[in-house]
């Protein structure tokens, strides 16, 4: 089927559950910022109204459609199909599972020639709901031309239900121009300022992070911790901080649009995730020249070279996390060299521009083959 174009450009519509601030949403922002405007015209569909990133995406000249109906509501099917037809969509690009359930059938019914999605997360039991939903989801993904995994760990976790030839890895990336790799002081800091970037959700393992900080204070290490981000567990985490007597040591900033400014104040960046795809917070830290201490799971081990750009520790192990952090507090030269190596690694492997360019090469390959289902 021929692909309809506007002024010689294919219309690519990204479909996402919401535009609340998060990793998938920040990836989508990079697609809006770095797409090839000579070849593609972008639009975005969000099911949920509002969201901090709506205005950011619109400021880049990308139209945002808000359905205002749930991803499980049949009316969403008709709204999606209407937008696909009215926009003469040549490409539908879905982000994570929820938009797939009605988005894929709507794109098929609307004869959208190219259909892809990005899996931003490791596959784990219950991710898409019960057994019936999982079976349906896997059938719908087979109607896609390609599924893009944000890390090799994510790709491997989805291989059981997809043909390997249609499941490709394009790593997450960050906008390197937004992060200044300022030189880290190699001296042992008077107060060791640890930063952690991410949504305040259970998968981030932040209860273990707070316990690691408590352990460090019990050893008289002059430490403070700043959480950058927000989420449903904020109240619970704040209560844990209070119970642990860390009220003067741990700070919550909420969501920050300019993470780079906060990163400049950190001596190191730490994570305690129990499950990850490839967290942008780690890549942002490395882009800022900060050593990273995080858990040895998922895409973390693809970003962080243990002993080179940071340290990897077992998940759900506050003692190991505390010891790793303490070792870099004591060794400023190592901390600084890891920060420099981290910046180099991000420049080489985790550029947002290359993430977008790699995805557009996928679009091009399918368009050139005249694919469509």
- CA dist 239 and 243 (Å) reads 6
Predicted pLDDT at 257: 84
Among 246, 255, 200, 204, which residue's Cα sits nearest to residue 225?
246
For residue 130, count other CB atoms closer than 10 A to its CB: 8
- Residues sharing a CB contact under 8 Å with residue 172, sequence separation 6 or more, in sequence order: 23, 27, 150, 151, 277, 278, 280, 283, 299, 350, 355
Label residue 170 by pLDDT band (50, 70, 90): very high
Helix, coil or strand: residue 17: coil
Domains and their CATH numbers in the chain: 5-173+351-369 (3.40.50.2000), 176-349 (3.40.50.2000)
CB of 299 within 8 A of CB of 154?
Answer: yes
Query: Which ranges of 35-143 would DSSP assign to H, the alpha helix?
Result: 54-58, 74-86, 98-109, 131-141
How much of the chain exceeds pLDDT 90, in percent?
Answer: 88
- CA dist 45 and 18 (Å) reads 9
Label residue 371 by pLDDT band (50, 70, 90): very low
Segment 56-65 mean pLDDT: 97
Label residue 1 by pLDDT band (50, 70, 90): very low
Lowest mean pLDDT among 4-8, 107-111, 285-289: 4-8
CB of 48 within 8 A of CB of 22?
Answer: no
Label residue 187 by pLDDT band (50, 70, 90): confident
Helix, coil or strand: residue 223: strand
Query: What confidence tens digit (pLDDT) does each residue in 126-169 have?
Result: 899 889 999 999 999 999 999 999 999 999 999 988 989 999 99
- Residues sharing a CB contact under 8 Å with residue 166, sequence separation 6 or more, in sequence order: 144, 145, 146, 147
What residues form DSSP beta bridges with 95? 118
Q: What share of the chain is helix, strand, coil (3-state, %, to 5)?
A: 45, 20, 40
């Amino acid at each position: 089927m021929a692909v309809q174009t506007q002024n010689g450009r294919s219309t690519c519509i990204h479909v996402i559950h919401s535009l609340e601030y998060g990793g998938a949403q920040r990836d989508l922002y990079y697609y809006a910022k770095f797409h090839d405007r000579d070849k593609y015209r972008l639009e975005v569909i969000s099911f949920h109204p509002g969201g901090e990133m709506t205005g950011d995406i619109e400021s880049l000249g990308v139209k945002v459609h808000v359905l205002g109906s749930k991803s499980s509501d049949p009316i969403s099917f008709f709204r999606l199909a209407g937008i696909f037809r009215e926009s003469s969509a040549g490409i539908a690009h879905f982000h994570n599972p929820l938009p797939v359930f009605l988005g894929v059938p709507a794109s098929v019914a609307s004869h959208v020639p190219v259909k892809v999605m990005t899996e931003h997360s490791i596959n784990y039991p219950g991710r898409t709901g019960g057994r019936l939903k999982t079976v349906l989801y896997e059938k719908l993904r087979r109607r896609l031309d390609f599924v893009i995994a944000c890390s090799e760990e994510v790709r491997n976790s989805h291989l059981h239900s997809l043909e390997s030839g249609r499941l490709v890895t394009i790593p997450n990336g960050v906008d390197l121009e937004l992060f200044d790799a300022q030189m880290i002081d190699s001296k042992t800091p008077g107060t060791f300022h640890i930063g952690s970037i991410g949504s305040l959700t259970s998968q981030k393992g932040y209860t273990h992070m707070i316990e690691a900080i408590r352990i460090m204070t019990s050893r008289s290490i002059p430490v403070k911790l700043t959480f950058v981000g927000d989420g449903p567990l904020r109240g619970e985490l704040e209560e844990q901080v209070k119970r642990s007597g860390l009220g003067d040591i741990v700070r919550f900033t909420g969501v920050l649009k300019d993470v780079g400014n906060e990163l400049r104040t950190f001596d190191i960046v730490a994570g305690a995730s129990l499950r990850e795809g490839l967290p942008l917070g780690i890549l942002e830290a490395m882009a800022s020249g900060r050593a990273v201490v995080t858990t040895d799971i998922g895409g973390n081990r693809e970003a962080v070279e243990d002993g080179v750009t940071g340290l990897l520790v077992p998940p759900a192990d506050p003692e190991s996390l505390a010891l790793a952090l303490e070792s870099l507090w004591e060794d400023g030269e190592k901390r600084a060299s890891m920060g420099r190596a981290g910046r180099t690694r991000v420049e080489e492997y985790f550029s947002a521009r290359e993430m977008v360019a790699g995805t557009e090469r996928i679009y091009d390959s399918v368009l050139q083959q005249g694919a469509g289902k």
